[in-house]
Structure formats: structure tokens, C-alpha cells
């Protein structure tokens, strides 16, 4: 970090933390006993990660509904990455606190990533700090805290965006693989992240190709696009298919997770 960015960054963190405490002080003070969403979805989406972390015998199968068959953890919306991490660490009784705090604290890396993106575009440093805080609090993903918790991690899209810009600073296979890995991993919070990232990057590649087609050879474009977009999508859905014994799911079932 440059010295000129130190105080603006501190201001950004102060705004983000202050805003979180102002709006969500009750959750922060009692994270393990406060529901962020009062809807049926909200209750269910607390229950499924907790039950999986507390009671399930398999890392990929959810036994807390559809008795006696159960269902795949992805289709139960149990946030496999999070619930399995809680399961391994033995913190199942703190599941609600972990979920609530992670949703809220995700706003901090969101603001920082937006700040880095704006600075990369040569936005004046103080303006970048204030704008990053404002954009972070305007994220539509914050509305997912009313029940669709797996989609409330507002840092995911800015992270993909930031890594994509870093790739274009110095295109290489290592940075493409890093981007693909992040997309694949985030898919195990919610599969929508895979699809959102794939659409976002496809649009990014399309506009870059149209506006700066001389910057990279055609075969290089195909290779990097394949690594960044096609590889994580295929890897995610192949692994999902391999771990799911149900063969007659509707083709659009992911729309209802």
C-alpha cells in the first residue's frame, strides 16, 4: 500500500465498520441468537447448515429433510464450503453466529476490493475511498440477508472483478488458474456464484476482444477464456453430478436452491 493511500484506507474501514455497527448492532452483540431473516427461507437456511454441521454423516449428503432419503447438500442450500468447515472444526453450536458475522464482515473486503478497483482506474484516492464505501453499502446482495444467506457474501463479484483486472495487467496461466479456482470454490457456497462469474467474465472477455483485439493472440484468448470460464463451470458441475445419485432431477432445479 502506498503511503498516500493509508489514511483514505483507514477512512474506508471506519466507514464500513461504523455503518455495520450502526445498522446491525443487535446482530453483532448477539450473533448466535439473532435471526437476520424472518421468512420461511430464512429459518430453513439457518437450519440446513447447522443440521449438516451437527448431525450429518457425509460431507455431501443432507439428511435433515426428505426423510428417509435426504438430499444433496447443494440442493438443500446448506452452503457446503461453510457448513463442512464448521463440521470439521466442531463449531456446529455456533453456526448461526458464524453465518451472521461472515455475512456482515464480508462487507469489509467488498469495500477494500472496490477501492482497489477504483484506484486501478485512476480515481482520486479520497474519492475512491468514499465511493467504495457507498458502493459497498448499496450492494443488492445485502438484501439477501433477509433469508438467502448464501448469496449475501458481497465480496464475491468484486473479487472476481479484481482478479480479472490483475490478469489483464500481466496475462499468464497462473493468474487464470487462480481466477478459476476462486470461482470453483465460491460455487460451494452457492452455485449461482459460478454462473454469475461465468456470465460476468464472458462479457468482460467479449468487450475486451472487441475493443482491444490486438492485445492478445486468438489462441491465447481461447486458452485463457477456457481456463477462467469453462474449466470452473465444468469442474463444478461434474463434481456435483458425481456426488449426486439422483438421476431424475428437473433440468432447472438449481433455480430453486
Q: Could you read off the pLDDT of 178-227 as tens digits, one per residue?
A: 999 999 999 999 999 999 999 999 999 999 999 888 888 999 999 999 99
| pLDDT tens digits, one per residue of 10-31 | 999 999 999 999 999 999 999 9
Confidence class of residue 37 from pLDDT cuts 50, 70 and 90?
confident
> In this prediction, what percent of the chain has a pLDDT beyond 90?
83
Amino acid 28: pLDDT: 94
| pLDDT tens digits, one per residue of 143-166 | 999 989 999 999 999 999 999 999
**Residue with more model confidence, 127 or 252:** 127
Collapsed DSSP state (helix, strand, coil) of residue 62: strand
User: What's the rounded Cα separation, in Å, for the pair 130 and 124?
Assistant: 10
Q: How far is the CA of 6 from the CAs of 9, 117, 123, 126, 225, in angstroms?
A: 5, 16, 15, 10, 35
Neighbours of 254 (CB within 10 A): 17
Amino acid 105: pLDDT: 96
Confidence class of residue 136 from pLDDT cuts 50, 70 and 90?
very high
62: β partners? 71
Q: pTM of this prediction?
A: 0.92
Mean pLDDT of the chain: 93
Collapsed DSSP state (helix, strand, coil) of residue 71: strand
DSSP-derived letter for residue 143 is G
Confidence class of residue 254 from pLDDT cuts 50, 70 and 90?
low
Amino acid 95: pLDDT: 97
22: which 3 cell numbers?
Answer: 450502526
Range 10-43 burial, b when 16+ CB lie within 10 A, else e: eebbebbbebbeeebeebbeebeeeebbeeeebe
Single out the residue of 162, 185, 172 nearest to residue 231, CA to CA.
185
216: which 3 cell numbers?
Answer: 492478445
- With 0-12 / 13-18 / 19 or more C-beta atoms within 10 angstroms meaning exposed / middle / buried, residue 168 is middle
Amino acid 250: pLDDT: 76
Contact 70, 61 (CB under 8 A): yes
Amino acid 154: pLDDT: 96
Long-range contacts formed by 194-203: CB under 8 A, 24+ apart: 194/232, 194/233, 194/236, 195/233, 196/156, 196/157, 197/156, 197/157, 197/160, 197/232, 198/229, 198/232, 198/233, 200/157, 200/160, 200/161, 201/160, 201/164, 201/225, 201/228, 201/229, 202/229
Q: How far is the CA of 243 from the CAs of 71, 194, 257, in angstroms?
A: 11, 18, 17
Collapsed DSSP state (helix, strand, coil) of residue 246: coil
| pLDDT tens digits, one per residue of 227-249 | 999 999 999 999 999 999 887 77
249: which 3 cell numbers?
Answer: 432431477
Q: Residue 127: is its pLDDT beyond 80?
A: yes
Amino acid 252: pLDDT: 60
Collapsed DSSP state (helix, strand, coil) of residue 32: coil
Q: Residue 82: is its pLDDT beyond 80?
A: yes
Question: Given phi > 0 = left and psi -120 to 50 = alpha, else beta, which region is 172?
Answer: beta
Mean pLDDT on 121-133: 96
Confidence class of residue 256 from pLDDT cuts 50, 70 and 90?
low
Amino acid 42: pLDDT: 87
Confidence class of residue 255 from pLDDT cuts 50, 70 and 90?
low
Collapsed DSSP state (helix, strand, coil) of residue 237: helix
Mean pLDDT on 84-112: 97
Q: Residue 257: is its pLDDT beyond 70?
A: no
Collapsed DSSP state (helix, strand, coil) of residue 61: strand
Amino acid at each position: 500500500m502506498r503511503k498516500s493511500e493509508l489514511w483514505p484506507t483507514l477512512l474506508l474501514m471506519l466507514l464500513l465498520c461504523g455503518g455495520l455497527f450502526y445498522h446491525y448492532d443487535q446482530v453483532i452483540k448477539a450473533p448466535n441468537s439473532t435471526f437476520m431473516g424472518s421468512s420461511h427461507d430464512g429459518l430453513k437456511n439457518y437450519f440446513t447448515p447447522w443440521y449438516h454441521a451437527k448431525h450429518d454423516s457425509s460431507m455431501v449428503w443432507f439428511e435433515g429433510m426428505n426423510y428417509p432419503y435426504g438430499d444433496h447438500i447443494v440442493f438443500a442450500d446448506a452452503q457446503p464450503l461453510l457448513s463442512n468447515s464448521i463440521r470439521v472444526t466442531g463449531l456446529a453450536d455456533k453456526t448461526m453466529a458464524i453465518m451472521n458475522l461472515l455475512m456482515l464482515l464480508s462487507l469489509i473486503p467488498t469495500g477494500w476490493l472496490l477501492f482497489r478497483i477504483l484506484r486501478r482506474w485512476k480515481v482520486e484516492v479520497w474519492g475512491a475511498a468514499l465511493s467504495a464505501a457507498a458502493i459497498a453499502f448499496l450492494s443488492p446482495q445485502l438484501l439477501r440477508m433477509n433469508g438467502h444467506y448464501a448469496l449475501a457474501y458481497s465480496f464475491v463479484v468484486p473479487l472476481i472483478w479484481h482478479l480479472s483486472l490483475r490478469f489483464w495487467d500481466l496475462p499468464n496461466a497462473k493468474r487464470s488458474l487462480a481466477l478459476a479456482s476462486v470461482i470453483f470454490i465460491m460455487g460451494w457456497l452457492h452455485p449461482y456464484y459460478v454462473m454469475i462469474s461465468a456470465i460476468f467474465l464472458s462479457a468482460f472477455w467479449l468487450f475486451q476482444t472487441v475493443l482491444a483485439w490486438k492485445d492478445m493472440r486468438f489462441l491465447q484468448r481461447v486458452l485463457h477464456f477456457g481456463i477462467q470460464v469453462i474449466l470452473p463451470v465444468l469442474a463444478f458441475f461434474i463434481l456435483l453430478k458425481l456426488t449426486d445419485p439422483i438421476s431424475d432431477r428437473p433440468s432447472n432445479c438449481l433455480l430453486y436452491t
